[in-house]
Amino acid sequence: MNIANLLLGSAREFRDMPALAHGASRHLGFRELWRRASVMSMHLTTRFRLERGDRVAFAMSNCVQSIEVMYAIWHAGLCAVPMNAKLHAREFAFILENSGARLCFVTPDLADTIAEAAREAPGLREIVDVTTRSYTFMAVGDPAALVDSEPTDPAWLFYTSGTTGRPKGATLTHRNLLAMTLNYYADVDRPSPGGSILHAAPISHGSGLWSFPTLARGAVQVFPESGKYDVPETVELMNRWPDCSIFLAPTMVKRLIEHGSVGDLRPEALRLVSYGGAPMYVSDLKRALDLLGNKLCQLYGQGESPMTITHLSREMHADRQNPRWEQRLASAGRPDSCVTVRVVDEEGRQLPVGEVGEIIVKGDTVMAGYWNDAQATARSLRDGWLWTGDVGAFDEEGLLTLKDRSKDMIISGGSNIYPREIEDVLNLHPGVAECSVVGRPHPEWGEEVVAFVVAREGKTPAPGELDQLCLDNIARFKRPKDYKFVEALPKNNYGKILKTELRKLLD
């Protein structure tokens, strides 16, 4: 069972239909993409001397080459390590070293950053810029045979920050990815051949995961020329490649419906907007439904169970006559077909309807474990159940409502930000005695990061110094937007900082 078989099937069935597009231009057809991936896989094993199971990383702005690289990796029986293009060099370095990646593909904008990170990852043998002759040469030669991977072989290391502040690599197997793909057809959509998916969100996360079910159904993978999310460009590309699906964070949906160019979107252009990564305000959902039609589907998942815990279907979004329509829109929907979902107490006992507890999930999409982290795996996987760290409750209709996200996690612009990671950096400053980071509601991004700081006597740091410290150590989007200096942090009798009290002090 090799997930690359999805591309082989499409190459046979859809042959010369467009498989990849760069902006408005066709890049490769399905047969061409299959040959490209199989020839590249030959280079991976001969030229780069990679062996079955080796990890291959990539740090790339959204581009057609990302799909070529991924399927070449799997074709050769290797494991992909996609990395968020927004990360800091030190974060890249940790992932490269932790995963043991032997090779890393980059786009030019990240070449220098990865070169810097590579100094702390001695196992990395080579970096290949996808715009250079070194990459172009990988399309020259004879195709290699598809490696017959085992269902339990690692296929994708999905690095997600943990509450310890250090990233953890959720090990997704070929079985995990195939189960997620089949669940897409069961609960989200079954696209028609000849449609498209527009990759405006990072390919290293949800949008990339949706490449599997759409590519297998003959949809062209469309990458904006800008390599980023730009609303007018998005609308133009949807019109150019109609019957288009797209995965967006709620803040991206909000930007779409508030931009004037949304009026230029043709009725046949948009097939589906799947959104997830954070809750979406009901008022924004209503407006999106009014402007876009009944084309929205919500997803709740984690890297540890990719895109598959619960969903709120298009049908539920559209059922305005239901007396509980607004309550349904505020929920995360019903459990996906491929998993079992429960809400439990601290002992793992299932809680009745209406009671709040931790959300746990079990099924073929649940990761094999965290890469090289047995302790974290033991905490999160118990008797086959994934303990998500998220808190919620089921209602009488079987709809799950999220009450909190991994307790103190901040979700800004659809990205997960863990306070501990930022606190660890701020505590490096000699003028910081203590600090605590919380999220403050933000009308566009959902939340923004705020740091409460207790200064050492006579050494109060300037906000600019703390800003620079963060910029030197973590990704820019994680940097606090406000610093509040306090005499002491509120604590309970056990010395634990009470973040709930800190949130009460926010403006």
What CATH code is carried by the domain that includes residue 451?
3.30.300.30
Q: What is the pLDDT of residue 161?
A: 59
* Closest CA relative to residue 206, chosen from 121, 274, 127: 274
Same domain, 438 and 327: no
Q: pLDDT band at 406, cuts 50/70/90?
A: low
Burial-class residue 129 by CB neighbours within 10 Å (0-12, 13-18, 19+).
middle
Tokens of 73: 């990796």
Same domain, 422 and 385: no
Distance CA 391, CA 140 (A): 51
- Residue 32 domain flag: yes
Mean pLDDT confidence for 449-455: 96
Tokens of 116: 């810097």
Q: What is the pLDDT of residues 6-35, one digit of tens each?
A: 999 999 999 999 999 999 999 999 999 999
Q: What is the pLDDT of residue 457?
A: 87
- Residue 492 domain flag: yes
Same domain, 144 and 291: yes
Percentage above 70 pLDDT, the chain: 97
Q: pLDDT band at 405, cuts 50/70/90?
A: low
Distance (Å) of CA 432 to CA 214, 410, 475, 478: 49, 22, 20, 18
Distance (Å) of CA 414 to CA 201, 210, 288, 453: 10, 16, 17, 26
Least-confidence region, from 51-60, 331-340, 372-381, 498-507: 498-507
Q: State yes or no: pLDDT of 404 exceeds 80.
A: no
Same domain, 243 and 287: yes
Q: What is the pLDDT of residue 257?
A: 94
Range of the domain at 292: 5-390
Q: pLDDT band at 498, cuts 50/70/90?
A: confident
* Closest CA relative to residue 292, chosen from 337, 246, 339, 228: 246
Question: Is residue 52 helix, strand or coil?
Answer: coil
Q: What is the pLDDT of residue 495?
A: 59
Same domain, 140 and 88: yes
Same domain, 338 and 421: no
Same domain, 239 and 320: yes
Q: What is the pLDDT of residue 165?
A: 57
Same domain, 61 and 184: yes
Name beta bridge partners: 451: 437, 483
- Residue 475 domain flag: yes
Q: What is the pLDDT of residue 494?
A: 47
Task: Single out the residue in 362, 390, 418 at which a domain terminates.
Answer: 390
Q: State yes or no: pLDDT of 78 exceeds 50.
A: yes
Least-confidence region, from 300-309, 345-354, 413-422: 413-422
Distance CA 29, CA 220 (A): 9
Same domain, 335 and 482: no
Q: What is the pLDDT of residue 164?
A: 44
Q: What is the pLDDT of residue 162?
A: 44
- DSSP assignment of 140-160: SSPPPPPP---TTSEEEEEEE
Q: What is the pLDDT of residue 121?
A: 95
Same domain, 315 and 458: no
Mean pLDDT confidence for 51-63: 96
Q: State yes or no: pLDDT of 41 exceeds 70.
A: yes
Task: Single out the residue in 390, 419, 434 at which a domain terminates.
Answer: 390
Q: State yes or no: pLDDT of 470 exceeds 80.
A: yes
- Residue 397 domain flag: no
Q: What is the pLDDT of residue 295?
A: 96
Q: State yes or no: pLDDT of 241 exceeds 70.
A: yes
- Residue 441 domain flag: yes
Q: State yes or no: pLDDT of 123 exceeds 50.
A: yes
Q: Report the number of distinct structural domains present in the chain.
A: 2
Tokens of 37: 């991936």
The angle, 0 to 180 degrees and rounded to 10, between the axes of the packed helices 250-258 and 282-292 is 50
Mean pLDDT confidence for 139-161: 94
Residue 479 CA, chain-centre distance (Å), reads 19
Q: What is the pLDDT of residue 458?
A: 86
Q: State yes or no: pLDDT of 298 exceeds 50.
A: yes
- Residue 349 domain flag: yes
Q: At residue 319, what are phi and psi to the nearest 5 degrees?
A: -80, 70
Direct distance between the N- and C-terminal alpha carbons of the chain, in angstroms, rounded to an integer: 54
The angle, 0 to 180 degrees and rounded to 10, between the axes of the packed helices 5-14 and 30-46 is 150
Same domain, 478 and 375: no
Q: pLDDT band at 336, cuts 50/70/90?
A: very high
Q: What is the pLDDT of residue 166?
A: 76
- Residue 344 domain flag: yes
Q: What is the pLDDT of residue 281?
A: 77
Same domain, 160 and 307: yes
Angle at 240 between CA 235 and CA 245, to 5 degrees: 65
Q: What is the pLDDT of residues 162-193, one digit of tens each?
A: 444 578 999 999 999 999 999 999 999 999 99
* Closest CA relative to residue 449, chosen from 435, 429, 460: 435
Distance CA 35, CA 47 (A): 18
Percentage above 90 pLDDT, the chain: 81
Q: State yes or no: pLDDT of 493 exceeds 80.
A: no
Mean pLDDT confidence for 286-305: 95
